Amino acid sequence: MVTLSVLDLAPVVEGGSVAQTLRNTVELAQLGERRGYQRYWLAEHHNLPGVASSATVVVIGQVAAATSKIRVGAGGIMLPNHAPLVIAEQFGTLETLFPGRIDLGLGRAPGTDPLAAQALRRTLNSSPDSFPDDVVELLGYLAPAVPGQRVRAVPGAGSEVPVWILGSSLYGAAVAGALGLPFAFASHFMPAQLMEALHLYRTRFEPSARLRKPYVMLGVSAVVAPTDAEAELLASSLEQAFVSLRRGRPGLLPPPRPGYRQQLASVEQALLDEALECALIGSPARVGEGMSALLERTGADELIATAQIFDHAARLRSYELLAEVRDELSGRSSSLTG
Distance, CA of 77 to CA of 104 (rounded, Å): 7
Query: What does the pLDDT read at residue 296?
Result: 97
CATH code where residue 231 lies: 3.20.20.30
Residue 287's domain comprises 4-337
What is the SS3 assignment for 102?
Answer: strand
Residues 6+ apart with CB under 8 A from 34: none
Please enumerate in sequence order all residues whose Cβ is within 8 A of that of 273, keeping only pairs 6 or more positions apart, or say none. none
Distances in Å between the Cα of 53 and the Cα atoms of 25, 44, 47, 324 are 10, 6, 11, 28
Q: Which residues of the chain have pLDDT under 50?
A: none
- Give the DSSP H or E segment for 222: strand 216-224
Phi, psi (degrees; rounded to nearest 5) at 217: -120, 135
- The C-alpha angle with vertex 70 and arms to 134 and 292, in degrees rounded to 5, equals 90
| H or E element that contains 72 | strand 71-78
- The amino acid that residue 334 corresponds to is S
Nearest residue to 60 via CA among 85, 36, 94, 87: 94
Which amino acid is it at 189? Answer: F
User: Cα–Cα distance between 105 and 166 in angstroms, integer?
Assistant: 6
What is the number of domains present in the chain?
Answer: 1
For residue 125, what pLDDT is reported?
A: 62
Residues 299 and 202: their CA atoms lie apart, in Å, by: 11
Residue 293, Cβ neighbours under 10 Å: how many?
A: 12
